[in-house]
Structures are given as structure tokens and as C-alpha cells.
């Protein structure tokens, strides 16, 4: 890698990315590029999905982890490696280490989803649960590295990691030579920096757009300040891009080469996860669906052909259920209402009859009769309904009011 005399930070070159591509041959999959008719109609130009959610370990992270570990000196490999992650990076380091015959220790938060913990162990890592948040887990991993001599594998702030992730960009140029815009989910910045490094060198006309969740958007204020700055809180369902501060190495690349960093709402993220599942038949985690969320939020802002990078598909089934429900609600396809009715035989059946007349599908009913807030002859009912969109939701509400019911929530 090359080093800048201005600030001594390592840089990444297109040749580094090409070298990483050779190193990853036979290790990382060349993931599919799938067209999306629905998104193409919405954007008004061809839209393709780069399916890194179908990569080994379920995300792009294997690419950078393998390149980083493969580049270690023999004595460094002998000491083993250590990483901290809530999921995708953990699995990438675990598999890369196993393939290279290197012992790996991975620190994960105590609240990490069980499927991710199990998968990391199955790939061969020694998993240690520590702390409640990733910052505490990261500190424990770095302390372990200092005590044992194990090499700490950073998830995004290292040139080898960035070069490995940049191979996604090379594949996009090979698979879609006429691409005009590449949209990439962005946390610490390793993936978007790697893609921008090679794409801007080979096709400077291609627009590279990073996407962050509104609740964890450290890049906009950092770019405004001209240096990485930390956000006070990082709250989003998109845990794969929930990073409080950009990495020093990727930040400089992003600042120089990435055309724009956008933010998307939680509603847009959940709608994007739902769309990927329903229309593309792909399971994608919220971070991986963030480029689709950007297209849904402002479809006219992207010149086509567009490639949206689906960076990962590792999502806990329980969380996925909540996300899909949230996405349906955001699209007006799921409605939760609470109302009170007279506690008498047949009252609930009458209510359900009203809903049947407006073709609302009842998913769940909660019937409360003993709450002290209720009158002696009252009952409270909470209904979860599947609806057909905002207009249908309004129709359901109107029908309930016309039938004499008071909706209280």
C-alpha cells in the first residue's frame, strides 16, 4: 500500500483492488447482478441489484477480511487474529481465518442475535460475549490483542479491508459496463471507499452514492467538518451500518471520490426490506437494503442504469418479522387499532362483521375485559389488520366510525 506524505494515512489504489481480486479468486463468489423491473419502472431507467447478500457468510465482509488476513506475515498468523462485531464482520473473519488456517477469536455483544453467534462459531471462531454495545466489545477485543499479540482485524479502517471490498466495484463494471450510478450502504465507509477507488479510476463518469440511516449518519457532519466526527447516538434497525464515527482511511477516500452521501428513514428501510422480499425474492437485512431505500425515497435523483449493492442478508428471524410488519405499516398495508365496545354477547362478532364488509383481513385480536380503566359494561379490543394501502386504511376507519365505534389508538 502507498502512504500519503500529507497525513501519513495509507491509501488504496486500483492496482490494490485488482490484486485483491486475484487473491479472492476461488474464495469469494462473483455474486449475481439481478434486474429489478419494479425499481426500473419507479426510477425510469434500468436498475440492477448486486446480490452480496448471497455471498459466502451472507455479506461482502468476507472479501476484506480474507485479503487482510492473507496479507499477514507468518509470525502474525501464528499469533492469531481477533475481531469485534455484532454479526457480518464476525462471520467474515471467522471463515477467512478457517480457510487460511489461522486461529480467530471474535468478541460479540451479549445481545447479539443467536443465529449470528452460532454461525460465527460454526465457521471456527472462538466466540466471546462481552459488553452490551459494540463499543464495549471493541475495547475488549483491542485489550485482548494487546495482551496476547493477536492481530486486530478492523472492520473497515484498514487499506487491505478496503481493497478487498473494492472487488465488488470491479465486478459491477464487468457485469454492467454501461452503469451510470452505483448506490452503496455506508457505515464506517470501507465498502463505498473500495468501490469508489476502482470505479472512479476506470469510469470517472460513474456517480457513486453512499447511503446512511438517518439515526446513524456520521458521514454528513464529518464531510461538512472535513474530518471524521462522532455522532452522539446511533439508533437504527440497520445494525450493519450503525457506526458512530467514520474510519480515518475510508473517510479520506469518501471525501475525495464519493459524489454524495444520502440518508434514509426507518420507514424507507423497512419498506425496502419488504420490497426485496416480495418483488426480488431476496432476504436482505436493513443495512443491505439501504440503497433500495434511497431509490424508493427519491427515485428521480438517480441516472440509470443504476446498480444498488445489497450488501448483506444476515437478519435475525424475529427482527425480520418486526421489520416486515413495520414496512407493511409504512405502506398502509398493516393497521393496528384500539377501540371500546359494550361487553355483551355477540359484540365482538358484530365488530368483525363490520371489518368483513370493508374487506379488512384480521391478523390478531386482543380482547381485554378486566382493565380498571374500563367501565363495568365495557371491553377494549386491539385489532391488527392487513389492509390494501392508505386509502383502504382510511376506509376502514370511516366504516368503524359510521358503525358507532370510537377508535382510541
Q: How confident is the model at residue 341 (pLDDT cuts 50, 70, 90)?
A: confident
116 is catalytic: no
| C-beta of residue 189 within 8 angstroms of C-beta of residue 215 | no
- The average confidence (pLDDT) of the chain is 89
Q: In this structure, what C-alpha cell is assigned to residue 190?
A: 470501507
50 is catalytic: no
Average pLDDT rounded to a whole number, residues 250-273: 95
Q: What pTM does this model have?
A: 0.84
Q: How confident is the model at residue 239 (pLDDT cuts 50, 70, 90)?
A: confident
pLDDT at residue 319 tops 90: no
For every residue of 348-404, DSSP letters joined together read HHHHHHHHHHTTPEEEEEEEE---TTS-TTEEEEEEEEE-SSHHHHHHHHHHHHHTT
> Quick one: which H or E segment has residue 303?
none
Q: Which of 36, 50, 61, 222 is an active site residue?
A: 61
pLDDT tens, residue by residue, 28-77: 999 999 999 999 999 999 999 999 999 999 999 999 999 999 999 999 99
Average pLDDT rounded to a whole number, residues 308-324: 87
pLDDT at residue 198 tops 90: yes
Q: What is the spatial distance between Cα 214 and Cα 105, in angstroms, rounded to a whole number?
A: 32
pLDDT at residue 377 tops 80: no
The reported pLDDT for the residue numbered 158 is 95
Can the peptide bond before residue 263 be classed as cis, meaning omega within 30 degrees of 0? no
pLDDT tens, residue by residue, 275-307: 999 889 999 999 999 999 999 999 999 999 999
Average pLDDT rounded to a whole number, residues 397-402: 84
Residue, of 230 and 341, whose pLDDT is higher: 230
Helices (H), 258-346: 266-279, 286-297, 317-330
The reported pLDDT for the residue numbered 3 is 40
What percentage of the chain exceeds 90 in pLDDT? Answer: 62
Amino acid at each position: 500500500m502507498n502512504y500519503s506524505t500529507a497525513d501519513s494515512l495509507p491509501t488504496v489504489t486500483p492496482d490494490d483492488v485488482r490484486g485483491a481480486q486475484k487473491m479472492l479468486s476461488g474464495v469469494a463468489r462473483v455474486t449475481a447482478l439481478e434486474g429489478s423491473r419494479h425499481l426500473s419502472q419507479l426510477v425510469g431507467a434500468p436498475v440492477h441489484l448486486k446480490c452480496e447478500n448471497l455471498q459466502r457468510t451472507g455479506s461482502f465482509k468476507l472479501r476484506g477480511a480474507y485479503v487482510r488476513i492473507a496479507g499477514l506475515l507468518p509470525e502474525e498468523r501464528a499469533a492469531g487474529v481477533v475481531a469485534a462485531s455484532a454479526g457480518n464482520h464476525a462471520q467474515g473473519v471467522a471463515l477467512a481465518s478457517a480457510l487460511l488456517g489461522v486461529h480467530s477469536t471474535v468478541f460479540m455483544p451479549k445481545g447479539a442475535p443467536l443465529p449470528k453467534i452460532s454461525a460465527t462459531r460454526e465457521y471456527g471462531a472462538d466466540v466471546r460475549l462481552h459488553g452490551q454495545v459494540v463499543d464495549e466489545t471493541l475495547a475488549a477485543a483491542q485489550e485482548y490483542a494487546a495482551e496476547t499479540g493477536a492481530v486486530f482485524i478492523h472492520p473497515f479502517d484498514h487499506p487491505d479491508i478496503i481493497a478487498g471490498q473494492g472487488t465488488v466495484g470491479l465486478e459491477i463494471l464487468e457485469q454492467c459496463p454501461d452503469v451510470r450510478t452505483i448506490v452503496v450502504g455506508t457505515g464506517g465507509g470501507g465498502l463505498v471507499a473500495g468501490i469508489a477507488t476502482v470505479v472512479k479510476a476506470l469510469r470517472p463518469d460513474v456517480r457513486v452514492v453512499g447511503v446512511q440511516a438517518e439515526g446513524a449518519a456520521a458521514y454528513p457532519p464529518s464531510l461538512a467538518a472535513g474530518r471524521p466526527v462522532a455522532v452522539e447516538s446511533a439508533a437504527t434497525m440497520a445494525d450493519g451500518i450503525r457506526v458512530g464515527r467514520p474510519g480515518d482511511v475510508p473517510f479520506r477516500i469518501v471525501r475525495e471520490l464519493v459524489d454524495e452521501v444520502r440518508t434514509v428513514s426507518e420507514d424507507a428501510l423497512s419498506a425496502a426490506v419488504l420490497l426485496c422480499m416480495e418483488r426480488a425474492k431476496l432476504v436482505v437485512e436493513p443495512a443491505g437494503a439501504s440503497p433500495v431505500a434511497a431509490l424508493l425515497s427519491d427515485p428521480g435523483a438517480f441516472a440509470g442504469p443504476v446498480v444498488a449493492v445489497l450488501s448483506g442478508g444476515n437478519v435475525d428471524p424475529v427482527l425480520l418479522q418486526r421489520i416486515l410488519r413495520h414496512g407493511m405499516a409504512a405502506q398502509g398495508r398493516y393497521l393496528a387499532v384500539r377501540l371500546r365496545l359494550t361487553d355483551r354477547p355477540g359484540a365482538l362478532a358484530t365488530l368483525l362483521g363490520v371489518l368483513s364488509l370493508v374487506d379488512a383481513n384480521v391478523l390478531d385480536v386482543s380482547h381485554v375485559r378486566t382493565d380498571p380503566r374500563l367501565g363495568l359494561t365495557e371491553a377494549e379490543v386491539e385489532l391488527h389488520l392487513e389492509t390494501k394501502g392508505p386509502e383502504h386504511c382510511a376506509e376502514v376507519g370511516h366504516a368503524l366510525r359510521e358503525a358507532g365505534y370510537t377508535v382510541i389508538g
